[in-house]
C-alpha cells in the first residue's frame, strides 16, 4: 500500500522530523486560501502515486496569487506524465500547498527492506533531489548504507556514520540530521514499511534541516494491524483490477506483455510465466485464484484478466488440488457465456476432477477454448496464437 506525500509528511512530523507547514487542497480557490494562510512563497505539488513531479512541471514555486492560480489550475486540469507514469499519465485530484524553503543542499535518506540480507537498511546520500537509481548506477560510492539488526534496530554509532556521510559538521545540524534518521527509522518500524524515503532532505542557507518530499510503501500483509494506515487508503489511486481482485481474495499482478495468465498458486504462476517466456511470449499479467475458489470468484478472475486491453490471448493453467478442475471449467463456461471470449483461451487443467472438467468443456463447445495436453503444449499454443502481436 502507498500513501500520498501529504500523508507521509504527517507520519514524519509525528515522529519528530521537521517538515514545512502545508495544506491539502482540491480546488484552485482552496489553493489560494492556503497560500494566504501560509504567507510568503509556497511550493504547489501534485499529490499522486508517482515521482518525477518536479521535472514534469507538477511541483511549482509560487510567489503571488497569479502564480498560485496558474499552477493549481494547470495541475488540476492536466494529467501528469513523468518518467514514473505511463504515457497516458495520471489524473491529479489533490494538491499540496507547502511553505517553500530556500535550499542550500539536497540530501537523500531512506530506509528499505533489504531482502538479500533479510533486514532493513538505512541509506543516505549527499546527492539528493535527483533520482537515486541514477546515483546508484553511476556513483554507488555516493550512497552510505547501514543495516539494522531486526531486534536491536538503529544504533548510535550508525546514526553518527550516516550523518558524517552527509558531510554535516555543525553541531546543531548533526543533531537535527540524527533526529531525522531516527524519526524516519521509527516510522519505518512502527508502520511496517517496505520503504520510507525522504528525497530531498534539505539544508537551508540558515542551517535548518527539513524534509520536503517523502514517499512511503507499506507491507500489505501488515496493514490490518494499523488503523491509521487503513484510514489513509485511497482506492481511487489504485489499479482498479487489483482492487476487484482483492475483493474476491484473488491476487492480480499487472505486467507488460500480452498474454494473460490465470493460475492457482504463486509457484505455478512463476513456472507458467517462465514457460511462456521460453516459448517467446510475454505475460501481460497473472491472476492467482489461490487454493480454494468459487465459480463466482473464478468468473470474476476471467473478467479481470480479459479487461486488460493489452491481453491478446489467455493461458489458463490450473493444478486442481483444493481448487477443483471442474469448478474452474464451470467458471470458464460461465465466463464465456457472460463476457464472451473474443480472444484465444488456452486451457491446461490437471488434478482433482480433471475428467469431469474436460467433459464439461467439450460439451460446452466454446470456440475460443483451446485445450492443451500439458504445460509446454499450452505455452506453445498461446504463444503461437498471439505470435503475430509479438512481431
Ligand atoms: P519529485 O520530483 O516528485 O520528487 O518532487 P519533490 O518534492 O522532490 O520536488 C522536486 C524538486 O523541486 C526538489 O528536489 C527541489 O529541488 C524542488 N523543490 C521542491 N520544493 C521546494 C521548495 O520549497 N523550495 C525550493 N527552492 N525548491 C523546492
Ligand atoms: Mn522527490
Q: Cell 510503501 appears where?
A: 217
| Confidence grade of residue 101 (pLDDT, cut at 50, 70, 90) | very high
Pocket test of ligand 1: the residue of 44, 103, 206 to mutate, having most ligand atoms within 8 Å of its CB, is 103
| pLDDT score of 341 more than 80 | yes
pLDDT greater at residue 193 or residue 137 = 193
CA-proximal residue: ligand 1, atom 12 (nearest):
54
53 CA: nearest ligand 1 atom: 3
| pLDDT score of 204 more than 70 | yes
Lowest-confidence pick of 87-101, 112-126, 307-321: 307-321
Q: Cell 531486534 appears where?
A: 151
Q: Which of 108, 146, 252, 330 is catalytic?
A: 108
* C-alpha of residue 43 to centroid of ligand 2, in Å: 13
Which pLDDT score is estimated for 156? Answer: 97
Query: Hey, which of 85-89, 167-171, 327-331 has the most confident mean pLDDT?
Result: 167-171
* C-alpha of residue 140 to centroid of ligand 2, in Å: 19
| pLDDT score of 391 more than 60 | no
| Confidence grade of residue 135 (pLDDT, cut at 50, 70, 90) | confident
Q: Tell me the mean pLDDT in the region 273-291.
A: 91
Is 197 among the residues known to form the active site?
yes
Which pLDDT score is estimated for 335? Answer: 84
| Confidence grade of residue 347 (pLDDT, cut at 50, 70, 90) | very high
| Confidence grade of residue 87 (pLDDT, cut at 50, 70, 90) | confident
How much of the chain, in percent, has pLDDT values that exceed 90? 69
| pLDDT score of 214 more than 70 | yes
* C-alpha of residue 59 to centroid of ligand 1, in Å: 7
Which pLDDT score is estimated for 389? Answer: 47
| pLDDT score of 104 more than 90 | yes
* Whether the CB of 128 sits within 6 Å of ligand 1: no
Query: Hey, which of 159-168, 248-257, 279-288 has the most confident mean pLDDT?
Result: 159-168
Pocket test of ligand 1: the residue of 107, 129, 130, 212 to mutate, having most ligand atoms within 8 Å of its CB, is 212
| pLDDT score of 105 more than 70 | yes
128 CA: nearest ligand 1 atom: 14
The Cα 64–Cα 40 span in angstroms is: 8
User: Phi/psi zone of residue 249: left (φ > 0), alpha (ψ -120 to 50 degrees), beta?
Assistant: left
Q: Please work out, in degrees rounded to the nearest 5, the angle formed at the alpha carbon of residue 52 by the alpha carbons of 88 and 84.
A: 45
Q: Are 99 and 42 in contact (CB under 8 A)?
A: yes
| Confidence grade of residue 390 (pLDDT, cut at 50, 70, 90) | very low
| Confidence grade of residue 73 (pLDDT, cut at 50, 70, 90) | very high
* Whether the CB of 43 sits within 6 Å of ligand 1: yes
| pLDDT score of 388 more than 60 | no
Q: Tell me the mean pLDDT in the region 323-330.
A: 85
| Confidence grade of residue 168 (pLDDT, cut at 50, 70, 90) | very high
* C-alpha of residue 180 to centroid of ligand 1, in Å: 18
Which pLDDT score is estimated for 292? Answer: 64
Amino acid at each position: 500500500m502507498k500513501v500520498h506525500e501529504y500523508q507521509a509528511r504527517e507520519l514524519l512530523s509525528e515522529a519528530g522530523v521537521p517538515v514545512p507547514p502545508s495544506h491539502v487542497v482540491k480546488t484552485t480557490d482552496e489553493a489560494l486560501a492556503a497560500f494566504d494562510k501560509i504567507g510568503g512563497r509556497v511550493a504547489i505539488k501534485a499529490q499522486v502515486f508517482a515521482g518525477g513531479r518536479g521535472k514534469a512541471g507538477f511541483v511549482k514555486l509560487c510567489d503571488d496569487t497569479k502564480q498560485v492560480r496558474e499552477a493549481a489550475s494547470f495541475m488540476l486540469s492536466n494529467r501528469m506524465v513523468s518518467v514514473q507514469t505511463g504515457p497516458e499519465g495520471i489524473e491529479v485530484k489533490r494538491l499540496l500547498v507547502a511553505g517553500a524553503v530556500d535550499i542550500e543542499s539536497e540530501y537523500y535518506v531512506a530506509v528499505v527492506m533489504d531482502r538479500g540480507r533479510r533486514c532493513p537498511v538505512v541509506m543516505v546520500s549527499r546527492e539528493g533531489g535527483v533520482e537515486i537509481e541514477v546515483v546508484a548506477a553511476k556513483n554507488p560510492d555516493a550512497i552510505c548504507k547501514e543495516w539494522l539488526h531486526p531486534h536491536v534496530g538503529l544504533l548510535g554509532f550508525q546514526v553518527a556514520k550516516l550523518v558524517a556521510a552527509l558531510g554535516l559538521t555543525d553541531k546543531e545540524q548533526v543533531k537535527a540530521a540524527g533526529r531525522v534518521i531516527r524519526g524516519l527509522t521509527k516510522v519505518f518500524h512502527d508502520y511496517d514499511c517496505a520503504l520510507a524515503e525522504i528525497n530531498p532532505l534539505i539544508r537551508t542557507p540558515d542551517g535548518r534541516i527539513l524534509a520536503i518530499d517523502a514517499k512511503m510503501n507499506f507491507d500489505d500483509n501488515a496493514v490490518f494491524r494499523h488503523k491509521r494506515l487503513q484510514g489513509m487508503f485511497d482506492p481511487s489511486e489504485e489499479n482498479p483490477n487489483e482492487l476487484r481482485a482483492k475483493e474476491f481474495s484473488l491476487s492480480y499482478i499487472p505486467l507488460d506483455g500480452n498474454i494473460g495468465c490465470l493460475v492457482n498458486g504463486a509457484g505455478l504462476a512463476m513456472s507458467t510465466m517462465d514457460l511462456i517466456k521460453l516459448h517467446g511470449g510475454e505475460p501481460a499479467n497473472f491472476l492467482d485464484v489461490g487454493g480454494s475458489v468459487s465459480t463466482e470468484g473464478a468468473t470474476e478472475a476471467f473478467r479481470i484478466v480479459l479487461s486488460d486491453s493489452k491481453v491478446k490471448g489467455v493461458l489458463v493453467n490450473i493444478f486442481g488440488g483444493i481448487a477443483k478442475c471442474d469448478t474452474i471449467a464451470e467458471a470458464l463456461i460461465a465466463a464465456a457465456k457472460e463476457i464472451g471470449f473474443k480472444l484465444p483461451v488456452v486451457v491446461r487443467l490437471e488434478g482433482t476432477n480433471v475428467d469431469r472438467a474436460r467433459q464439461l468443456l467439450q460439451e460446452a463447445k466454446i470456440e475460443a477454448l483451446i485445450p492443451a495436453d500439458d504445460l509446454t503444449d499450452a505455452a506453445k499454443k498461446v504463444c503461437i496464437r498471439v505470435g503475430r502481436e509479438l512481431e
